[in-house]
Amino acid sequence: MSAFLNIGAQGSASLVVVAPGIAEALIATVAGLGAAIPAVVGYNHCLGRLRELSQGTQQFTSEFLDRRPGSGPS
């Protein structure tokens, strides 16, 4: 954003005017990726673990209900 403000203030788009704004944007991008990548990895780990727990719970419930008296084949 500051790059555009500097261009407007200077009236030109020379490298000296634009470079600080580009550097600022790159630093913000790195900071954003530094936060987003670990968050996505953590989310995927938790999601996988929840799926495992859900499958285990469904399997347990199915086996438990199959062993009830009167639920088997006649």
The pLDDT tens digits of the residues spanning 24-51 come to 999 999 999 999 999 999 999 999 999 9
Long-range residue pairs from 56-61, CB within 8 A, at least 24 positions apart, any chain: none
Range of the domain at 37: 1-67
For residue 47, being part of any structural domain is answered with yes
What is the model's pLDDT at position 7?
72
For residue 73, being part of any structural domain is answered with no
Task: Answer for the pair 64, 42: CB distance below 8 angstroms, yes or no.
Answer: no
For residue 29, being part of any structural domain is answered with yes
Long-range residue pairs from 19-28, CB within 8 A, at least 24 positions apart, any chain: none
The DSSP letter of residue 68 is S
For residue 72, being part of any structural domain is answered with no
The CA–CA distances, whole Å, from 72 to 43, 54, 65, 68 equal: 41, 25, 10, 8
Domain tally for the chain? 1
For residue 74, being part of any structural domain is answered with no
